[in-house]
Amino acid sequence: MSLRQALFLFAICAALCACAGTGTHTRAPAAANAGVASAGGAVMEIAQTSDPENYEQRAREVFGTRSLSHSDLPGRDLDSDLLYKFLLAEIAAQRGDFQVAAKAYFEMAKKTGDPRVARRATELALYGRNNDLALEAARIWLAAEKDSAPARQTVATLLVNANNLQAAKPLLKDMLAADVENIGTSLMQLHGLLAKHSDKNAVLALVQELAKPYKQHPEAHFAVAQAANAAGKYDKGLSEIREAMRTKPDWEAAALLQAQILGRDSRAKSLEYLGAFLAANPDAQDVRLGYARQLTAEKKYPEARVEFQKLLQDNPENADIAVTVALLSLQINDFDAAEVQLKRVLELNYKDEDSVRFHLGQVNEERKRYDEAAKWYLSVEGGEQFVLANARYAFMLAKQGRLAEARKHLQTLQSENDGQRVQILQTEAQMLRENREYQESYDVLKKALEAQPDHPELLYDVALAAEKLDRIDVAEASLRKLITLKPDHAQAYNALGYTLADRTNRLTEARDYIEKALKLSPEDPFILDSMGWVEYRLGNSQQGLQYLQRAFQQRPDPEIAAHLGEVLWSKGKKTEAEKVWRDSLRENPENEELQKVLKKFMP
């Protein structure tokens, strides 16, 4: 049968399949899958409009037919049944129906035993997330091509994903033994291969067995250390990684793993180890980068900046490192260094120039160079920083007594989507609140909420604005609705609890809400502050003081300072209370809560 004849037959079969639900009992060849019907129309269209020689060439490439005289792979004539399945599979794959395509290729793989067909069946089954079919196809592939490393690794991976480590073990042993010259690389690949298996102890036992014949290689100890670390066997992991580094003391990947294991017990030990490693190996850039990131995570910003600056000296064209140095400089108020680096980054054609312009606006705003800051903020054209940059510009105008101009800027700002529009309205409301225009702030938010009555952030902001107007009923209703919509919203529980604790006598109920918030976010300083305040109001001043001291230590916020000072005052520690208030007022001279508490106790 010629290919043109087969295509004509295939088109007729496809058309008949498409009519299967209309009363006809004619069907496609028996081997065809039931899913063929859904592709019938497309198959017929492609069969009629495509150049048959293209399919013939593709089919001959896949099957290695006898006419092409392949000597090392099975060849066979393109009979109509095989061609039917091939066309079905290819067209289904083009349409994104990987289940149908994979099943058709799997049938062809079983019939031909051809490793290329089996490999294609495996790929399509994986695309269709049919791991069982992928495993069966991969087994055919491996049986036909016993020395194929990709086939062996694919079967092993699928067996591991199926939680069948015992079946995977001989394949993994063969995989390691087959390429002894590159055994180090193969051992290093074990972690990625086995990482998703849920039984970490079983993985550790397997890796130890696989690595045993290769103990003279440091990578064998590294592989065991990784598995031990994942299984929570940190002492074992530490001893193995140290053994790896005994023969390869400057190995950066091993140093980073050792620091990770040490960090489980003590972050200080991890940092100390990395610092010592860098002293002995000053050119270890991966370790220096890891060290710098850990310092940043520990909020050791000056030390982190030193390390990033060393990296920048070795990589002067690396814009990502330059941005990091700039942001760390900004964090420690070294505005000159921050500006220099940010302008350098713009010259390096950084991928996110808008974020750089935003940070340049920040630098100049902190220096009170408002005209320069405005230039940078208004140059942000899009992206995540667009609304924030315009918000900062509006706040600067408001600080200069130009509130009406600031509001007009926000009201005429073009938003790209509903999310940005809400952000702009929230910014306007916050600006009004900070200028003690509480009614107007509430009106802006209330109008926005009427348009989006279930918007979580608007519900939260309306509650805060209502509380300022003594509309406790509105605040409570908004927060209760928010909790119904988002039962894991820690700040909603906290705001409701604090409002009840501060503005009503429903103190036990208030504490219940704050306790829920604390369970959801145990170290949040504002929730700790609320718990301290409600305990104080319940008469538990010592407990309240402990919560407030924890909160203030984490975040010396002026409102937390107001509460802490009041509790200290009530316990007779008036000098200490006054110091807390005065120090905070020096940094926050306009804060209402501080002014209120000072007027109450020190009129």
CATH number of the domain encompassing residue 211: 1.25.40
Q: What percent of the chain has pLDDT over 90?
A: 63
Residues 161 and 203 sit within 8 Å (Cβ to Cβ): no
pLDDT of residue 355: 94
pLDDT of 29 above 50: no
The last residue of one of the domains, among 246, 268, 288, is 246
Q: How confident is the model at residue 54 (pLDDT cuts 50, 70, 90)?
A: low
> CA of 225: how far to CAs of 220, 248, 251, 383, in Å?
9, 15, 14, 42
Q: What percent of the chain has pLDDT over 70?
A: 86
Domain annotation covers residue 315: no
Cα-to-chain-centroid distance, residue 549: 33
Q: How confident is the model at residue 4 (pLDDT cuts 50, 70, 90)?
A: very low
Distance CA 119, CA 138 (A): 6
pLDDT of 44 above 60: no
Domain annotation covers residue 241: yes
Q: What are the tens digits of pLDDT across the range 102-126?
A: 888 888 888 888 888 888 888 888 8
Domain annotation covers residue 436: no
| pLDDT (average), residues 90-95 | 80
pLDDT of residue 21: 37
Window from 52-66, 129-143, 327-341, 509-523 with minimum mean pLDDT = 52-66
Domain annotation covers residue 33: no
> Which residue segment(s) compose the domain that 373 sits in?
357-414
| pLDDT (average), residues 468-488 | 96
Domain annotation covers residue 90: no
pTM higher than 0.85: no
Domain annotation covers residue 206: yes
The last residue of one of the domains, among 365, 393, 414, is 414
Distance CA 67, CA 6 (A): 17
Residues 306-328: b if buried by 16+ CB within 10 A, e if exposed: ebbbbbbeeeeeebebbbbbbbb
Domain annotation covers residue 186: yes
pLDDT of residue 280: 95
pLDDT of 316 above 80: yes
The last residue of one of the domains, among 414, 445, 463, is 414
Q: How confident is the model at residue 79 (pLDDT cuts 50, 70, 90)?
A: low
Q: What are the tens digits of pLDDT across the range 7-28?
A: 333 333 333 233 333 333 333 3
Q: What are the tens digits of pLDDT across the range 153-178?
A: 888 888 888 888 888 888 888 888 88
Domain annotation covers residue 391: yes
Total structural domains in the chain?
2
Task: Supply 551's token pair.
Answer: 């909160």
